[in-house]
Structures are given as structure tokens and as C-alpha cells.
Amino acid sequence: MSAQIISGKEVSAQVRECLKKDVEQMKLKDPNFSPGLVVLQVGDRDDSNLYISMKLKAAKEIGINATHMRLPKTATEDEVLHSIKEVNENSSVHGLIVQLPLDSVHKIDTEKVTNAVAPEKDVDGLTSINAGKLSRGDLGDCFIPCTPNGCMELIKQTGVSVAGKRAVVIGRSKIVGAPMHDLLLWSHATVTTCHSKTADLPGEVGKADILVVGIGKAEMVKGEWIKKGAVVIDCGINHIPDASRPSGKRVVGDVHYASAKEQAGFITPVPGGVGPMTVAMLMANTVLSAKRFLESHQPGKWNISYSNLNLQRPVPSDIVISRSCVPKPIDHLAKEVGLLSDEVELFGTTKAKVRLNIVQRLQAQPDGKYVVVTGITPTPLGEGKSTTTIGLVQAMGAHMKLNVFACVRQPSQGPTFGIKGGAAGGGYSQVIPMEEFNLHLTGDIHAITAANNLVAAAIDARMFHESTQSDKALYNRLVPLSGGERKFSPIQINRLKKLGIEKTDPSSLTEEEVTRFSRLDIDPSSVTWQRVLDTNDRFLRKITIGQSPTEKGYTREAQFDITVASEIMAVLALTTSLQDMRQRLAKMVVATSRSGQPITTEDLGVSGALTVLMKDAIKPNLMQTLEGNPVFVHAGPFANIAHGNSSILADKIALKLVGPEGYVVTEAGFGADIGMEKFFNIKCRYSGLRPHVVVLVATVRALKMHGGGPTVTAGMPLPKEYIDENLELLEKGCSNMKKQIENAQHFGVPVVVAVNAFKTDTEAELDLVCSVAKAAGAFDAVRCTHWAEGGAGAVALGQAVQRASEAPSSFKFLYDLELPIADKIRTIARKIYGADDIELLPEAQLKVELYTKQGFGNLPVCMAKTHLSLSHEADKKGVPTGFVLPIRDIRASTGAGFLFPLVGTMPTIPGLPTRPCFYDIDLDPETEQVNGLF
């Protein structure tokens, strides 16, 4: 009786159908996901091309995104290894096959190349790591080579149990024989491996209940060798002469099929047996790899380790504490929170940038809970919002075991070397390394400085050239001859379209169109764009530019701002994508023409170059807390004249990474009347995000000041009123906290008051603040000791935030964008500051009319006022009443997307004090440690 034929075509078709359903299920969970496969080929062998086309066809049928990466015959070993490294780091690829043989004119070590494939992407199962795991019996933790895997599937189809059977494998290659031996062995067969040197091969074959042949010799195994009823799997592919075929040859296996099928119980044909199964198993391994990837990279599924703090008393300086903790390698932290290797750009070992391709990967995932940290009206010393932000994150992560991310601003170097110090938090609630945090970080502020000053240079250069050239000369220089013809750049085409000129041939413009295109006709007195520097330099507050003889007398007054006051910084913080940033940078208005038209950076032709300078700065910076929690440090807009919040992009990415049960804690600059109001009315409008909780930071010290305590001056000892218990002074000052709670409630979000405790605060004082806060409508109020105790000192706060995030809320904006500009300003002044009304001074009234006429009237409002009082007068503490808020001017940040009314006078570049911080800062040349930094 002839053997039953085991059809590889039929079985592989069944396997492919199952795989197709698996891929469909993956796409149901994540529509953006597809298993990815790369087939890397060196050279152009016809047989390799045939095999690759079969693989690509099968992949397409199943739904696998397969790519054929072909390198030329001239490719060197290094070039092949480089290509493999690129694929290894590509998170959209889950399987990588190196098509053998490598058809190169250079000598290439095949073993080295195959072992260069990442084991988790080695769907051929050829790396030493996968082979080692297979030989050890770790079948669930490796990839099984495709041909042996296919053979096992074919044996399974016969219904014959492998366990306890005697199996013989002929051939010991790494691709078939050796892994086949291991598979059969771990399936509990008794296995003998035979080869060309085996004595009495027919006798060994005759003992086999299961025979697998992969020796590479045509029809070597004869039928009479085979045990009656055995399962015969023929892996051979050989060509023998056959005059009856048009090609003069035919394909046969390693087994003499005609005689073997009379002896065997089951047998595979050649072709049509093992061959189709090899391709099917390759696809199965690719789908398996994709499943493993999805399982190990589920958003919100963190496997994070935390660092233990070695608390010291008294609490050492910030920098001593920072150096006492060894940061985790930043690539390790990135992996812990679900970032992929190709989504992270390392800057040394303690900081990294996160690429924006992660936004696309995670877009279908639900967000976590969103918490904003703000404060009461502070003293000049600050009340610890940054410290509370970090302490809260450490508590919720390291102690409450929740997924939690901090998102904070990058500090300016002006305060770092000036008087204020850094913004990394303090005590045992810091971002580390604090030197990196407070200095250059990854160069974002330098990129903004360069971009901002490029605009400033472009403005003055354009005014100079327009004033010294005729229309024709100006046009010929703007559209120069190149290769005998003139051609508009894409950015110039944009300007033509803005002017309503639908032409692309420079020679076709009329004289009138040439003039309109060439002349921006900027009114020098209308230039609002200033140069910037990230240094406190008071002597740049008012300067004269253009004094060189080469500028031919075209001088004008100008000024410098500090870099973080640049509109480009505000754009960075509010942008949602690279494309959005390009559009925002293009919309920035820098001046007005003499005819009253707004002049933008796109008109200047510089917006594309700005985007190039900012292409890396847009990527959020990843750092960590002392206890090992992830922190995004990104953007640092001035909180006085800009919105004073870290970036939308950092918040959005963090909200995806923490998962629906996790938390993102972001900080708003200054008191709730400034940073929080701008967070809600500006940042939340552009992000579309809705916060769950407001954390309002209060201190006994600041509340005593608002109750009428003596002046608090940075660098001077605190008066005794702030050190001794004084409940009367404190209770009176709680009016400011109650007003800031009310301000948060205007937006419909629950408020948790965090009382940042100092060692001089008494129990009675802390209890009083908490009870007043709750009576004023706070969801909860808790004392915190995170500065001295790290996350352990903010666990009660974390628990209160967790409860508040589940409470009902009804978020709403304070005003409608369609309101007139003055009404939006009035709404903020009355509801948030407690003013009776506003007064628009003449310059401000003119700007209201100008911006309304120019189409900017529907932008949100970003108030620029002192942070030291709810009113416009810094010395008015508590809750001032009965005042009219004077608006002296209004300016437009049209790229960032807001108008900023100026309340009173404030410098946009600070000055250095008599004794700046830099007196204490130095570098140890031996250890390269920064000394004297806080």
C-alpha cells in the first residue's frame, strides 16, 4: 500500500489563512500597526530573486509589510552590517532575513552577518543566540528555523505522536539538520543524527519511525532502507538531468520518491512538500515576532525600577544630593517607560531626545490623567512648585507604584548665573543630573537664540537693501540668474500667492507686480522683533544698531530680550507637530508696512530656515528624578509675557506613555492668576487636552506675607514673623489662597492644596492652612515634606490627587475667543485678578484697533503683569480690591497664537545683581565636576 502524501501546499495554505486572521486581529487593536519584514539581499542571483519573490508574495497575502532591501554586488561586509544595524533599530520591522548566499565581489563572513541580526528579529532562527536557546530547549523564547519548523508542522499533520518514537535525521547543517535534531529531541523522540561519515547508513535509516532527510544528495535514500510505515520528510531540492523536460532537468529530493512511497506510511513530495512550509513558517515567525513586540510594548505597561534615597539630616545642598544618586542609564529608563530604540536620540548617558514618530505610533492609545501644578501668589523666593511637581511624581511612582511622568520647563541660563538659581526642584525632589538640567541640556535654547537672531538680521538687512536699491535691482537680486535663468524658490511662490499673483515665471511679472513682490516697505518704527541672548545683561535693554559706516547711516534704536522671551520659544511650547511648527513660524509678525500690512517671517523668506534650525529642538528631552521617575524637560517660555508652560508635545507624548491608569504632572509658571490661567485659556485650547486636577502649592511663609508680613527679599534673612508662630497673620494672608482656589474653580477643575512645609512651620499653622483651604472649596488640602523626604513626603498629596482625578469635573474656558479684545482682557482682570475694570491707555487702544483690523482679534489673551501680586502693583499683597487695571500696550505673538497686553512696565531681559551666582561656579579640571551650582 502506497504512503499517504503530506501536501505542503495544503498545510501551508491553512497556516497562511490563520496568520491572515492573526494580522487582522492586530489591526483591530491598533489600525496603524502592521507586522514588518525586511529581506536583505546582496547581489542579484536569479535563484535568490525567485525565493525572495515567493516570500514577498506570501507576506502581501497575509498582510505583512515586506520590504526587499537590495545591496549591490560591490557591497562590503561593513556596508552589509550597517544595513542590518539600521533594520535592527527600526521599530516598524519585526523580522529580518539575510538572503543567502551573499553574492558579493568582496569576502563577507556569513556567520558574522547572520549573527548581526537582532535575536528578536531573527525570524530565520539562524543567530547563535536563537540556536543556543533551541538546543537548550527554550522553545518558547526563541525563533525556530523555518524549514525544521515546517517539518514539525507536516509531521503533526500525520497524527503520529513524536513522543517515544525513534527519529533519524540525515544531515547536520545549521539550517536544517542540527535544529531538526533539537526539535525532535525536545518533542521527546529518541534522535539519531546521521551524515556522510555515518557507518551503515541504511541500517540506521531502517530503525527510524520518523525520517527527516536534508543531506543535499539527489535520491540518496532508497525505498528499501525505510522502515515500513515510517513518516518520511524530504527536505532536499536537487536538479537531475531529464531529457523529457524542456529545461533538460527536473527537481528531486534526497529520497528516491517512487520506491520510498511504497514503504513509508507518510511521505512529502518534492516539490510541493517542505518548500511551501518553509515560506509559511517564515511568515509565522514574523507574525509571532510582531505579537511579541505588541505584548512587550503595550502603552502603560511599565516595568520600571526606582532608586532608594539615602536621606541625610540636615538636608545637604541640592548639588550634593544630586550627586549622591546615580542616575539610571537614560536608554534603560526609555525602555522601561515604553519608548523604542529608534524613538530615542541619546545625549550622553543621562539625557535623550524623543523623536516625534512616537506620536503616530501611539495615537490610537487612550490618555492618562492630566494634573497641573500651580501656586498662590509667591514671595520673591518662590514657594516650591517645581519641587512639589517632582515630589508628587516621585510619590505616585516610586511609592504608590503608578505610571507617572513629570513635564517641566527648561530653565534659562540667565537666572542660573544671575540670582534665582535653577529650576530642577530642590532637596530630595529634583531632576538629575541638575548640572545638565540647568545648563545647556541638549541645546534647545541655543537653537532658539540662533533662529530668533536670524529673523532680526533678516529684518534689518531687508530694510537696508530696499532703501539702497531700485525696484529692478532689488528684484534681480532676490531672484538671481542661475544657469542662465531666474527661478522663484518655494517660499517666494508662497509670497506671490499671498499677494494674489498666480505666476511662477519670474520674467512674466509686470512692473507693478515686481514692486509689490520685492518691497516689504517695513516701517522701521513698527519693528517689534528684538534680538535675544540667554544672559542677564541690563545694558542690552536699549541699544542703537547700524552704526558701522557700511550701513550708510541707517541706524535705529533696538533692544535685546532674554531668549526665553522670544516668540519662537512660545511657538515651541505650543506646537503640536513639525508641520504645525513650520506654519506657526511662518505666521510670526515682525513689523508693519507703511501701508499698515503685517509683515511675517514668511514674507521675509526666512521661515523655512527657522524650521531647519528648530528641527531638533522640537523633540522633548527625557531626564529622570532622584528616585528614577521619567521627566520631560521641554521649552521654557517666559511666564510674564508668554504663557509660562512646558510643551504641548511633551504632555501629549507622556499622556500616551503612562496609559489610561497613569498620570502626567505638568507645571505652570508663577501663581495661579498667571501660569494656571494661561495653561487653561491658551495651552489647553491649542492642545485639546482637558486637565483632571489642579494642585495649588501654598506655604506658610507666603501666606504670612499676604497677611501683612514684612518684605521678603532674596538673599536676606527672613524676618522673625516668618519663623515664629503667628496664626493671626497667617489667617489674614489665607485670603490669597482662597482667591487662587476660586480662580481654579472658574475652570471647573477640582483643586488639591499642597502645603509645602518648612522646618519653621508649626503644627497649628499647617493645620490652619489645610482647614481654611478645605472650607474655601478645595477638594483636599495636605501638608507635604518632599523637600526633606523625597517622594515619601508627598504620598498623602499623591493619594489626594488620585482621588480628585476620579471626582466629577466640568472643564470650561474663561472666555469665548470671539469676544472683542478688550472684553477678553476685562474678563481676566475682573474674574482672576479681582479688578473693578480695565483702562486701555492710548497705545493699547491703537493696538486693539490695529490687530482687529489685521484679523488677529480672535486670538486668546496672554497677560503680561507682575507675578508678585494679584494686581498690577507688586507691593499690593493679599487680595487687592477697588483697582482699575491699566493696559499700557498690547503686542501680538501671531505665530504662537496669542496677544499679550502689557500691564505696567517690566524688563524683558533681567540684569545681573551686584553679586551674581557665577561668583560661586567653577569647574574642577581633574574630575570635570561643576562646583558651586546651588
Q: Looking at the DSSP assignment, which residues form a beta bridge with residue 589?
A: 600
Whether residue 867 contacts residue 670, with contact meaning beta carbons closer than 8 Å, is answered with yes
Q: What is the DSSP letter of 221?
A: B
Helix, strand or coil for residue 909? coil
Interatomic CA distance for residues 338 and 512, integer angstroms: 58
Residue 660, number of CB atoms within 10 A of its CB: 14
Interatomic CA distance for residues 875 and 872, integer angstroms: 9
Interatomic CA distance for residues 435 and 930, integer angstroms: 7
DSSP 323-390: HHSPPPPHHHHHHHTT--GGGEEEETTTEEEE-THHHHHHTTSPP-EEEEEEESSPPTT---HHHHHH
Give the β-pairing of 344-347 and 266-267: unpaired
Distance of CA 776 to the CA centre of its chain: 39
Cell of 442: 541638549
Q: Looking at the DSSP assignment, which residues form a beta bridge with residue 533?
A: 562
The widest CA-to-CA distance across the chain, in whole angstroms, is: 112
Given the residues 9, 27, 29, 55, the one annotated as active site: 55
Interatomic CA distance for residues 457 and 551, integer angstroms: 13
Helix, strand or coil for residue 507? helix
Helix, strand or coil for residue 842? helix
Burial class (CB in 10 A: 0-12, 13-18, 19+), 264: buried
Whether residue 434 contacts residue 322, with contact meaning beta carbons closer than 8 Å, is answered with yes
Cell of 624: 529622570
Q: Is 55 a catalytic residue?
A: yes
Listed residue (811, 710, 722, 791) closest to 758, CA to CA? 722
Where do runs of H (alpha helix) occur along 159-273?
177-186, 201-205, 257-263
Per the listing, cell 527536473 goes with 250
Interatomic CA distance for residues 328 and 332, integer angstroms: 7
The residue type of 243 is: A
Listed residue (893, 881, 810, 815) closest to 851, CA to CA? 893
The beta-strand segments (E) located in 44-178 are: 65-71, 95-98, 166-170
Where in the sequence numbering do the catalytic residues fall? 55
